[in-house]
């Protein structure tokens, strides 16, 4: 994962979090110690060989927690080793652990304090801050302006997870009733993924695997229970007969089977004395009804996934829409505009547009753009926002100095007019004249003139 996706940081921190949770629950064992220690040593050794990562696991605040848990595990294992050499009471052992951990924590704090002034540790990124800081207060208006950084709502959960929104919580309940080291990882993953996705809609991606796993647990247990209640489980009974025949001095299988059948007949009689044929029939109908509902939900969920997959796989700049009379039309305005730029402007033209369209201008129109998604200079982006939100004379003079053409999208929805409050905030973070005496540009908007005839 480290070699192909920046989301490896989430996986690293999730495993470290689970390792810490196991310690807090009193489940620290030699097995857990070996598992996490080997994973960290081998995984980090390989990850640091990637040039894009390097020594970030030891310097980035977003990954340092895994190192802290690793060192904590070494301290705890040292404590356990020393305790095995001593014959002391449980109370004294707890005191010894607390004393050792406290001393190690103080030493770690002193070491960190020594490295902080030297800027050894890199700062948290604005995206990570956006997860834990209230939206629009990350300190970076550019990050706050991106739609995928907005908090997720119930509609977003149902759109991307649909029936998993129901099956996931049920599976979580089943997991809680079968608690252990492995199930505790699923619980930790579920809580963490829900918190992160609730804070930022783009992180709904993290909910996919755990929601699928928990729903699978719920469906599997329900089906297993129903099948076990409906079937006679003769194959299990036959296996027990064979085992008992072998363990009772090679007693004939036929004799053991005869004895089991008589015992089973008596148990069946007692069972039907409790449940009349009518009650048994109702139970059977309920069981088959539940199975039918699960099949229907599974089928509808599969069809929904296929349709959603197709819609998400379509190009974002070419849309299919249906008119009032039912005709399907293709909206290809974006590509047509980029083709116009390619065919009607000189090859050395400079195009000024908001950074959202930078890559498309470069790839489709084959023209130089002022900014794109990889423009890291915040002042540069703020200057674009100033051009697009200032008064006409000021904006025109700056644009004419920077570029030959200006591309502006309009027409409703998420066009540049709808984005303009964010553009003004980004511009005002550097150029205070955009929204004087209003740092957040809360008063920025557009006036609607009403003409009466």
Delimit the domains of the chain by residue range.
Answer: 1-123, 333-428
pLDDT tens digit sequence for 125-156? 666 766 666 654 555 666 666 666 677 778 88
Q: What is this structure's pTM?
A: 0.67
Q: In the numeric block, which tokens belong to residue 240?
A: 């027990």
Residue 443: Cβ within 10 Å count: 10
pLDDT (0 to 100) of residue 361: 93
Residue 60's DSSP bridge partners are: 122
Q: Is beta strand 328-331 parallel, antiparallel or unpaired with respect to 319-322?
A: antiparallel
pLDDT tens digit sequence for 242-275? 556 555 555 555 555 555 555 554 444 444 445 5
**pLDDT mean over 11-35:** 90
- Calculate the average pLDDT of the chain: 81
**354 to 6, 330, 382, 406: CA distances (angstroms):** 25, 25, 10, 9
pLDDT (0 to 100) of residue 102: 85
pLDDT tens digit sequence for 226-251? 888 877 544 445 555 555 655 555 55
pLDDT (0 to 100) of residue 251: 52
CA distance 116 to 435: 36
pLDDT (0 to 100) of residue 426: 87
pLDDT tens digit sequence for 294-331? 999 988 899 998 888 887 777 777 877 778 888 888 88
Share of the chain above pLDDT 70, in %: 80
Phi, psi of 272 (to 5 degrees): -75, -15
Domain 333-428 architecture: 3-Layer(aba) Sandwich (3.40)
pLDDT (0 to 100) of residue 220: 92
């Amino acid at each position: 994962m480290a070699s192909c996706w920046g989301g490896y940081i989430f996986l690293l921190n999730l495993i470290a979090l689970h390792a810490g949770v196991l310690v807090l629950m009193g489940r620290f064992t030699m097995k857990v110690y070996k598992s996490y220690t080997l994973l960290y040593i081998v995984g980090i050794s390989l990850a640091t060989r990637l040039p894009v990562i390097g020594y970030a696991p030891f310097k980035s605040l977003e990954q340092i927690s895994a190192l802290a848990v690793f060192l904590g595990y070494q301290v705890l294992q040292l404590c356990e080793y020393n305790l095995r050499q001593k014959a002391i009471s449980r109370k004294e052992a707890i005191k010894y652990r607390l004393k050792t951990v406290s001393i190690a924590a103080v030493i770690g704090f002193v070491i960190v304090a020594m490295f902080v002034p030297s800027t050894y540790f890199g700062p948290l990124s604005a995206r990570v801050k956006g997860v834990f800081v209230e939206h629009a207060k990350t300190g970076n208006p550019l990050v706050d302006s991106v739609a995928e950084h907005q908090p997720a709502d119930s509609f977003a959960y149902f759109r991307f997870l649909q029936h998993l929104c129901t099956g996931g919580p049920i599976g979580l309940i089943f997991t809680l009733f079968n608690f252990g080291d492995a199930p505790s990882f699923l619980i930790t993953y579920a809580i963490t993924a829900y918190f992160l996705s609730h804070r930022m809609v783009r992180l709904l991606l993290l909910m996919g695997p755990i929601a699928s796993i928990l729903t699978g647990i719920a469906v599997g247990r329900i089906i297993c229970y129903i099948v076990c209640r409906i079937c006679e489980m003769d194959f299990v009974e036959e296996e027990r007969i064979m085992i008992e025949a072998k363990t009772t001095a090679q007693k004939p299988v036929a004799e053991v089977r005869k004895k089991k059948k008589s015992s089973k007949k008596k148990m069946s009689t007692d069972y039907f004395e409790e449940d009349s044929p009518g009650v048994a029939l109702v139970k059977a109908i309920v069981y088959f009804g539940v199975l039918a509902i699960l099949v229907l939900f599974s089928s509808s969920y599969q069809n929904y996934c296929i349709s959603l997959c197709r819609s998400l796989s379509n190009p974002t700049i070419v849309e299919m829409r249906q008119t009032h009379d039912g005709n399907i039309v293709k909206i290809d305005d974006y590509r047509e505009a980029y083709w116009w730029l390619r065919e009607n402007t000189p090859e050395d033209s400079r195009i000024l547009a908001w950074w959202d369209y930078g890559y498309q201008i470069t790839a489709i129109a084959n023209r130089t753009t002022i900014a794109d998604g990889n423009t890291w200079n915040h002042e540069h982006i703020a200057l674009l926002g100033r051009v697009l939100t200032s008064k006409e004379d000021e904006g025109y003079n700056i644009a004419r100095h920077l570029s030959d053409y200006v591309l502006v999208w309009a027409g409703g929805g998420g066009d540049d007019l709808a984005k303009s409050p964010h553009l003004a905030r980004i511009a005002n973070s550097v150029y205070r004249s955009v929204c004087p005496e209003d740092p957040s540009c809360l008063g920025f908007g557009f006036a609607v003139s009403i003409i009466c005839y």
